[in-house]
């Protein structure tokens, strides 16, 4: 492998596997930009095609020499099952090895590639406010793969440095919210200077430009805009003015002496604003504990030192014994040892107790804050997240914080202080042996590094496998009835998958058994002991060392390796806790519903009137879901919202119930803007019945009388009768006094009717209703429908309609399309008009007739 | 734990395990020998002639190198055992899962089983090498050092040996208390946060009822009241957690003190005493190593506990008899005083049910939710076994049939149609892998799967994705109907979906029931009039008992519970939302 030079040797020593790749085809995407289609039977055993993943290729020497040149290219598309993939290459003039190869390449050519290293890009569950992508033609394939992965409603700013007139012709992956800026290169600082000076709070930055520009970019992003480390990925994709990029990237041969134009005069926009990131939320949440945690760390350091002290005392004991000290001095030492042991234990115990007390107070305040927050968040926050997220934050994250405060800091401090203190002590005693102790550690670290590199993509693959097996096993268990009835084939895919998974683990881990054994043998105490004994015997017998100096090594040096390697483990506890703290702070930072203290508008409209007045709304800034909708609901009338899914009908209805606040315009109930009303004032006027039902912990009576806790039993029973639930309640073990729970569970339709009874008793003038409620449970469809009839009677009703035939009697039908009102009218009017409504009706008609046939 | 471990090993590896154990013990003995060799070595270094230590160093090097060799061999076997555990363990769990009683799969058990089969793999590989070997070493090494000390100094050797059980008990106690403390903290946290989660869950209801603020006050007060008690509980656990640290430090002081005392009394030379101090440190190192293994022990114990839960789960009883070869055509099914409950302490879902389904008939089971309809169907399908009574097919007790015979009897359309990861065609063929194209085409057409495949670019070769997620709920339903139709079983059971079906699916269910190409006895748990209409007989079930039984016309004429049900279903179909007093009640 000499022909591959030093980097080839290094890569080989990591055990990277070469894969033969065959060229299938080539197409030109721009005058100086080609896409090469490749295939390999084995490559994707090692490589994973995730966004921004790249491969190293060995290109032949352009001068026809023996040597091969390594360059890395991003995988622009891939089919892992067939092994086909593409890479996009920039052609340079004069051409380097890669450019030359790309120019000449023809189908059938082969080349070697390895997946050693590589990177990946993930969009987190809760995406950042936006993505700032920076690069140039060499990193466009990576930028493209990111653009393809970013959700369509997240804004993206792309800054590309232009080196060639043809650069803007290179195709970019379209993204509806991406803005592209081409920045002609004037010098290494011009790209950084071109980035808009604005508030980049909660954005994520990905930068893959050439190395010189990257230096300036880092300064601008981190120091001027305040991007935290966790929200900034920066890697040079090539080196300006250097013919051969060592690590990766396309070479851009350019005379090294080319005069660099002076840096661009001034930043094109105003002064930079330092943003604030959710990623820094952990710090804010824990700010009140900062001093406590620092103090606890300091105390833990003392405790750790005290726990090491007995070993030092043993050395002193030996020294005194050798010097023939009086018996009493020895016993004094013993006394000291006992005292230190006692003090260490007491101090450690006191520290733990204190931290628990601090944590208890902190957790109590935190829960109180969370409770307050939850009571003031818009209802839409809950529907958007679901109960899993709330549980994660309220239950799991507060528990993780408990460990962070009570254990993680002392553990981390102890893990760091102990080896450092031991090392300092040992170096002070004899630096030669102390230095030698690093030898086994070095063996461990090097073996570990080789293993990590060899694992490469498999570490990520293992994670994917474990997620996949979890899903497949869940399916296998869920499918048990089917598998038992149909046997054989139905269960065999899971078996096959299990075999594949076991095969994967086997292939991955079995070659490492030797290395793992080596790591264990190198760092075990017996090895250190032999090393120390050898050096000690040598130094002592040659008179170069006092034998007493050997004792600290024999007592503390043997476990030095284990202690040093424990640092990483000790610190890992901090990370989990900080992530939890960050999530909690994010929740505490969510914006709350505000009640405007503005002048109460004169209620010129009747109490049951609802007005949507030029309403605009979007879940994310810049992505409107409702555009300029104006509707009037007259008191006591029924208005139906109709439209294809995604037309905004559920969103519009949710705005009336103030699950969210409008961006512009207003929703008024009885002349009052809903934002001027307190929650209690609003919900005294507006009620809602959606598909999800919520029963509170308590009796049936309490649940029905939720809005009127003082309501008499007669009124509660009347509401239950109206909701067709009275008979069912009487059959419960304790009637209206039955506490609802696992022992006295109601079916879906019964729960539905209970919430309807609740709404009947609450008696709001305006009602928002999801029509799907009426068909949620065929077991009690009929009863739910009768209950709804009683509930809707005499109110202003806004209904989200899924089946058109259920709303033909509506006083007003509003047809929504793409968040705008397409048509308004009665069924007869709209049916006759032959517009959007007629289309929807005709599309649904064959279904209705088929339904009728099935019934007859 | 060890028992579970050995059970998971394939039989041919048991001897290998014994070899591994022997090598581990030998490795420990060599390490102990190395520790004790320090006594003459260090004594010489501190003595008048340090050069005398060289031979001892040679011995130490030899012993250490031998230890490396032995431990390398042990590690190789250990990894081999680990991979054998992985392979055999995972497969035996997967096999076991298909024989466990379905009633065992509660939400908690299902989660355990899922983790046992999906996530314990990597833990199993490292189980022997990272856990069994080090734990055995950490426990055996101090004993071996204690024994090796006896020839040098009897009191010290005895003290070291006596210390082993004391320190192990201290270790175990601390670990136990630590676990209890963790659980207490977790339970306390759950108790404290449960009400907040509940508060969040019910926000829409609370706000609509204008109860958010009062409820917040109540929850806040409850939290404050609970807080003090739980904190005290957690704090009480702390002193116990310090026990092991205290014990090992005390052991160090005591053993060092004994050594010093022996030296002062002149029983030991000063160089020997110093050397012994070093041996004492090595002795205690082993316990410290045990402490560091604690997280690994927790993980492995959890993994093994999950596996054991699956292995110990009750399995279905298996018969061995075959149906007589003469049995052809649709069978007559008889339920004799059948009783069933899901849990031993749960309520009776069916209690002494007697029902005969004549050969070749179609029976609709109708009734309110919780009446036992789906349970009845599962008993007929053989998915559950009656807790009392018998299910007879043509007079044969199904409980006595061999599993394959039992399976061949029934075909089922499930409410939740699970499909496996493969093509639509593969999934339909699961009903009868040997079916010819004509039979396949017939089933596909009857279930209206052809309408689905016509829309897809890959047709019936379209992959359905993991658990069928690439298809819509209705499309999955139709594929499952085709699969059930294709299976040449003489009994067809249909559990109609309760969720809203689209009309094509309703028609597919009706056609499946009307298909007469295979002579079958059919039972449908029905919610919709379309599927009931085709039944020869309707059985109205309530609280696990048959309250009405007859033909559709007969029961409608009788005007009982079924007629009532029928009328309501018809009314529900034509319902419209109304306002302003348009109610028809």
Q: What is the ipTM of this complex?
A: 0.86
What's the whole-number mean pLDDT along residues A525-536? 93
Query: pLDDT at residue A546 above 50?
Result: yes
Angle, alpha carbons B229-A355-B191 (nearest 5°): 35
Q: Which of B486, B456, B483 minimizes the C-alpha distance to B471?
A: B456
Q: Note whether A312 contacts B: Cβ–Cβ < 8 A.
A: no
What is this structure's pTM?
Answer: 0.78
Nearest residue on chain A to B34, alpha-carbon basis: A526
The rounded percent of chain B whose pLDDT value lies above 70 is 97
Between CA A844 and CA B326 the distance in angstroms is 51
What's the mean per-residue pLDDT of chain B? 86
| Phi–psi pair at B315, nearest 5 degrees | -105, 165
Instruction: Work out the number of other CB atoms within 10 angstroms of the CB of residue A45.
Output: 17
Do A484 and B98 count as a contact with CB atoms less than 8 A apart? yes
Nearest residue on chain B to A323, alpha-carbon basis: B270
Instruction: Work out the number of other CB atoms within 10 angstroms of the CB of residue B457.
Output: 7
Beta-sheet strands, E only, within B259-369: 333-341, 348-357, 362-366
Query: pLDDT at residue A63 above 90?
Result: no
Nearest to A558 among B208, B253, B285 (CB): B285
Nearest residue on chain A to B188, alpha-carbon basis: A399
Q: How confident is the model at residue A242 (pLDDT cuts 50, 70, 90)?
A: low
Nearest-CA distance A299 → chain B (Å) = 16
> Could you write out the DSSP letters of every residue in A403-422?
HIIIIIHHHHHHHHHHHHHH
Do A490 and B430 count as a contact with CB atoms less than 8 A apart? yes
Q: Note whether A770 contacts B: Cβ–Cβ < 8 A.
A: no
Instruction: Work out the number of other CB atoms within 10 angstroms of the CB of residue B225.
Output: 9
Nearest residue on chain B to A310, alpha-carbon basis: B253
Task: Say what the pLDDT of residue B458 is.
Answer: 84
Angle, alpha carbons B518-B519-B524 (nearest 5°): 95
Task: Say what the pLDDT of residue B583 is.
Answer: 40
Query: pLDDT at residue A258 above 60?
Result: no
Task: Say what the pLDDT of residue B500 is.
Answer: 55
pLDDT tens for each residue of B38-70: 999 998 998 888 888 999 999 999 999 999 999
Q: How confident is the model at residue A263 (pLDDT cuts 50, 70, 90)?
A: very low
Beta carbons of B540 and B562 less than 8 angstroms apart:
yes
Task: Say what the pLDDT of residue A6 is.
Answer: 63
Between CA A626 and CA A612 the distance in angstroms is 11
pLDDT tens for each residue of A699-720: 999 999 988 888 899 999 999 9
Do A374 and B196 count as a contact with CB atoms less than 8 A apart? yes
Between CA A281 and CA A582 the distance in angstroms is 5
Locus of tokens 């048991």:
B14
| Phi–psi pair at A802, nearest 5 degrees | -105, -35
Report in angstroms the alpha-carbon separations of A571 from A567, B286, B296, B444. Answer: 6, 24, 17, 59
Provide the token pair at B585.
């009640």
Q: Note whether B161 contacts A: Cβ–Cβ < 8 A.
A: no
Between CA B134 and CA A382 the distance in angstroms is 49
Task: Say what the pLDDT of residue A99 is.
Answer: 87
Greater model confidence, A27 or A775: A27
Task: Say what the pLDDT of residue A610 is.
Answer: 93
Strand partners, B355: B335
Task: Say what the pLDDT of residue A266 is.
Answer: 40
Q: Note whether A395 contacts B: Cβ–Cβ < 8 A.
A: yes
Provide the token pair at B89.
């363990």
Locus of tokens 């750790």:
A304
> Could you write out the DSSP letters of every residue in A230-252?
GGEEE---B-TT-SS-SSSS---
What's the mean per-residue pLDDT of chain A? 84
Highest mean pLDDT among A5-14, A762-771, B366-375: A762-771
Q: Note whether B99 contacts A: Cβ–Cβ < 8 A.
A: no
> Which residue of A358, A398, A473, A519 to mutate against B (max B Cβ within 10 Å)?
A473
Nearest residue on chain A to B582, alpha-carbon basis: A793
Between CA B535 and CA B429 the distance in angstroms is 27
Q: C-alpha A172: how far from its chain's center? A: 26
Q: Note whether A474 contacts B: Cβ–Cβ < 8 A.
A: yes
Do A370 and B196 count as a contact with CB atoms less than 8 A apart? yes
Provide the token pair at B550.
């007859």
Between CA A829 and CA A839 the distance in angstroms is 14
Q: Note whether B581 contacts A: Cβ–Cβ < 8 A.
A: yes
Strand partners, B321: B401
| Phi–psi pair at B523, nearest 5 degrees | -135, 130
Between CA B305 and CA B108 the distance in angstroms is 14
Nearest-CA distance A86 → chain B (Å) = 24
Do A480 and B234 count as a contact with CB atoms less than 8 A apart? no
Task: Say what the pLDDT of residue B582 is.
Answer: 42
Beta carbons of B468 and A482 less than 8 angstroms apart:
no
Instruction: Work out the number of other CB atoms within 10 angstroms of the CB of residue B429.
Output: 20
Q: How confident is the model at residue A601 (pLDDT cuts 50, 70, 90)?
A: low
Provide the token pair at B505.
């699916």
Beta carbons of A341 and B245 less than 8 angstroms apart:
no
Q: Note whether B41 contacts A: Cβ–Cβ < 8 A.
A: yes
Q: B382: which chain A residues are within 8 Å (Cβ-Cβ)? A: 484-485
The burial of A488, by beta-carbon neighbours within 10 Å (0-12 exposed, 13-18 middle, 19 or more buried), is given as exposed
Between CA A682 and CA A610 the distance in angstroms is 12
Between CA A190 and CA B305 the distance in angstroms is 61
Q: Which of A198, A167, A172 minimizes the C-alpha distance to A182?
A: A167
Q: How confident is the model at residue A268 (pLDDT cuts 50, 70, 90)?
A: very low
Query: pLDDT at residue B252 above 50?
Result: yes
Q: A330: which chain B residues are within 8 Å (Cβ-Cβ)? A: 260, 264
Question: What size, in residues, is chain A?
Answer: 856
């Amino acid at each position: 492998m000499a022909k591959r030079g030093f980097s080839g040797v290094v890569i080989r020593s990591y055990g990277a596997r070469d894969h033969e790749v065959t060229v299938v085809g080539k197409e030109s995407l721009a005058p100086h930009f080609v896409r090469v289609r490749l295939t390999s039977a084995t490559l994707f055993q090692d490589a994973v095609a995730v966004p921004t993943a790249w491969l190293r290729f060995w290109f032949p020497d352009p001068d026809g020499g023996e040597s091969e040149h390594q360059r890395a290219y991003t995988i622009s598309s891939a089919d892992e099952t067939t092994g086909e993939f593409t890479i996009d290459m920039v052609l340079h003039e004069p051409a380097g090895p890669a450019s030359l190869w790309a120019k000449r390449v023809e189908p059938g050519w082969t080349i070697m590639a390895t997946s050693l290293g590589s990177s990946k890009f993930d969009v987190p569950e809760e995406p950042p406010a936006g993505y700032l992508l920076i690069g140039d033609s060499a990193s466009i394939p990576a930028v493209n793969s990111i653009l393809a992965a970013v959700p369509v409603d997240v804004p993206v700013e792309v800054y590309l440095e232009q080196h060639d007139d043809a650069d803007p012709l290179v195709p970019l992956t379209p993204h509806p919210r991406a803005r592209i800026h081409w920045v002609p290169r004037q010098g290494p600082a011009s790209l950084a200077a071109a980035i808009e000076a604005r508030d980049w709070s909660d954005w994520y930055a990905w930068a893959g430009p050439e190395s010189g520009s990257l230096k300036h970019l880092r300064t601008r992003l981190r120091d001027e805009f305040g991007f935290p480390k966790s929200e900034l990925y920066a890697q040079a994709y090539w080196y300006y003015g250097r013919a051969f990029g060592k690590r990766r990237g396309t070479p851009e041969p350019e005379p090294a002496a080319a005069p660099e134009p002076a840096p661009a005069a001034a930043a094109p926009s105003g002064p930079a604003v330092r943003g604030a990131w959710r990623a820094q939320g952990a710090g804010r949440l824990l700010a009140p504990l900062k001093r406590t945690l620092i103090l606890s760390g300091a105390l833990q350091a003392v405790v750790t030192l005290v726990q090491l002290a007995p070993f030092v005392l043993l050395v002193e004991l030996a020294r005194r014994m050798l010097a023939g000290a009086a018996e009493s001095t020895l016993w004094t030492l013993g006394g000291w040892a006992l005292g230190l042991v006692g003090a260490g234990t007491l101090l450690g115990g006191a520290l733990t107790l204190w931290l628990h007390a601090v944590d208890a107070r902190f957790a109590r305040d935190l829960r109180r804050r969370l409770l307050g927050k939850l009571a003031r968040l818009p209802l839409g926050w809950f529907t958007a997240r679901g109960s899993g997220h709330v549980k994660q934050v309220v239950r799991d994250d507060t528990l993780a914080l408990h460990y962070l405060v009570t254990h993680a800091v002392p553990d981390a401090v102890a893990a760091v202080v102990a080896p450092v203190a031991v090392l300092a002590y040992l170096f002070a005693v004899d630096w030669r042996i102390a230095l030698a102790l690093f030898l086994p550690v070095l063996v461990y670290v090097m073996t570990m590094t080789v293993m990590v590199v060899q694992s490469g993509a498999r570490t990520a693959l293992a994670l994917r496998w474990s997620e996949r097996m979890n899903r497949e096993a869940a399916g296998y268990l869920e499918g048990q009835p089917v598998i038992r009835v149909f046997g054989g084939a139905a269960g065999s895919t899971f078996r096959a998958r299990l075999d594949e998974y076991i095969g994967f683990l086997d292939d991955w881990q079995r070659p490492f058994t030797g290395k793992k054994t080596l790591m264990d043998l190198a760092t075990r105490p017996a090895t250190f002991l032999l090393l120390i004994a050898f050096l000690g015997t040598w130094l002592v017998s040659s008179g170069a060392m006092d034998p007493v100096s050997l004792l600290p090594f024999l007592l503390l040096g043997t476990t030095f390796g284990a202690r040093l390697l424990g640092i990483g483990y000790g610190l890992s506890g901090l990370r989990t806790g900080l992530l939890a703290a960050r999530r909690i702070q994010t929740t505490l930072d969510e914006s709350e519903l505000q009640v405007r203290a503005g002048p109460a508008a004169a209620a010129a409209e009747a109490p049951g009137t609802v007005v949507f007045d030029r309403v605009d709304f979007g879940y994310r800034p810049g992505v409107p879901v409702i555009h300029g909708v104006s509707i009037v609901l007259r008191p006591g009338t029924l208005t139906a919202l109709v439209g294809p899914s995604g037309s905004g009908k559920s969103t519009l209805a949710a705005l009336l119930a103030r699950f969210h606040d409008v961006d512009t315009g207003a929703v008024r109930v009885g002349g009052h803007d809903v934002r001027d009303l307190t929650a209690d004032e609003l919900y005294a006027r507006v009620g809602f019945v959606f598909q999800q039902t919520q029963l509170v912990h308590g009796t049936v009576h309490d649940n029905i009388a939720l809005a009127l806790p003082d309501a008499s039993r007669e009124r509660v029973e009347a509401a239950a009768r109206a909701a067709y639930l009275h008979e069912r309640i009487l059959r419960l073990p304790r009637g209206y006094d039955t506490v609802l729970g696992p022992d006295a569970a109601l079916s879906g339709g019964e729960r539905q009717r209970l919430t309807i009874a609740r709404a009947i008793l609450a008696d709001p003038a305006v009602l928002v209703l999801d029509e799907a409620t009426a068909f949620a449970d065929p077991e009690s469809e009929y009863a739910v429908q009768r209950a709804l009839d009683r509930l809707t009677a005499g109110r202003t009703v806004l209904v989200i309609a899924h089946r058109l035939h259920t709303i033909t009697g509506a006083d007003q039908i509003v047809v929504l399309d793409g968040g705008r009102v397409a048509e308004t009218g009665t069924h007869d009017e709209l049916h006759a008009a032959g517009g959007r409504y007629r289309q929807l009706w005709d599309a649904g008609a064959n279904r209705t007739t088929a339904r009728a046939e099935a019934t007859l | 734990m060890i028992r579970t471990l050995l059970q998971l090993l394939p039989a041919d590896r048991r001897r290998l395990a014994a070899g591994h154990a022997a090598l581990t013990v030998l490795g420990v003995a060599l390490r102990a020998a190395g520790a004790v060799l320090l006594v003459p070595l260090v004594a010489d270094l501190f003595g008048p002639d340090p050069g005398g230590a060289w031979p001892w160093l040679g011995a130490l090097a030899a012993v250490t190198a031998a230890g490396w060799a032995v431990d390398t061999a042990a590690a190789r076997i250990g990894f081999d055992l680990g991979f054998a555990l992985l392979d055999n363990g995972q497969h035996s769990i997967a096999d076991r899962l298909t024989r466990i009683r379905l009633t065992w799969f509660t939400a908690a058990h299902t989660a355990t089983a899922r983790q046992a089969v999906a996530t314990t793999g990597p833990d199993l590989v490292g189980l022997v090498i990272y856990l069994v070997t080090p734990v055995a070493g950490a426990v055996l090494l101090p004993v071996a050092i204690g024994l090796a000390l006896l020839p040098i100094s009897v009191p010290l050797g005895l003290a070291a040996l006596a210390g082993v059980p004391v320190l192990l008990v201290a270790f175990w106690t601390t670990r136990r208390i630590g676990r209890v403390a963790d659980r207490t903290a977790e339970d306390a946290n759950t108790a404290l946060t449960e009400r907040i989660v509940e508060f969040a869950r019910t926000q829409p209801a609370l706000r609509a009822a204008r109860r958010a603020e009062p409820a917040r006050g109540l929850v806040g007060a409850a939290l404050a009241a609970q807080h003090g008690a739980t904190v005290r509980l957690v704090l009480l656990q702390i002193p116990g957690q310090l026990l092991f640290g205290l014990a090992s430090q005390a052991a160090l002081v005591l053993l060092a003190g004994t050594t010093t005392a022996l030296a002062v009394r002149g029983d030991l030379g000063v160089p020997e005493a110093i050397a012994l101090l070093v041996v004492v440190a090595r002795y205690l190192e082993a316990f410290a190593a045990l402490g560091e293994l604690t997280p690994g022990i927790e993980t492995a114990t959890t993994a093994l506990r999950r596996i054991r839960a699956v292995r110990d789960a009750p399995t279905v009883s298996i018969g061995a008899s075959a149906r007589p070869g003469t049995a052809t055509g649709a069978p007559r099914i008889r339920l004799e005083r059948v009783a069933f409950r899901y849990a031993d302490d749960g309520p009776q879902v069916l209690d002494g049910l007697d029902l005969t389904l004549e050969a070749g008939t179609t029976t609709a089971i109708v009734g309110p939710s919780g009446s036992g309809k789906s349970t009845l169907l599962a008993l007929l399908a053989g998915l559950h076994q009656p807790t009392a009574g018998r299910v007879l097919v043509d007079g044969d007790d199904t409980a006595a049939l061999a599993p394959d015979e039992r399976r061949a009897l029934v075909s089922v359309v499930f409410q939740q149609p699970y499909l496996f990861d493969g093509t639509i065609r593969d999934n339909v063929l699961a009903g009868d892998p040997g079916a010819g194209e004509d039979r396949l085409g017939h089933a596909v057409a009857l279930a209206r799967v052809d309408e689905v495949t016509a829309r897809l670019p890959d047709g019936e070769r379209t992959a359905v994705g993991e658990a069928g997620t690439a298809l819509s709920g209705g499309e999955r339903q139709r594929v499952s109907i085709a699969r059930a139709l294709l299976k040449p079983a003489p009994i067809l059971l249909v559990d109609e979906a309760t969720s809203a079906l689209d009309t094509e699916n309703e028609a597919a269910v009706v056609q499946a029931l009307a298909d007469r190409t295979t002579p079958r006895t059919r039972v449908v748990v029905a919610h919709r009039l379309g599927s009931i209409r085709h039944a020869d007989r309707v059985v109205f079930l309530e609280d696990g008992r048959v309250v009405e039984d007859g033909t559709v016309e007969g029961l409608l004429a009788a005007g009982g519970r079924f007629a009532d049900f029928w009328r309501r279903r018809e009314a529900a179909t034509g319902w419209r939302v109304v306002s302003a007093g348009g109610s028809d009640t």
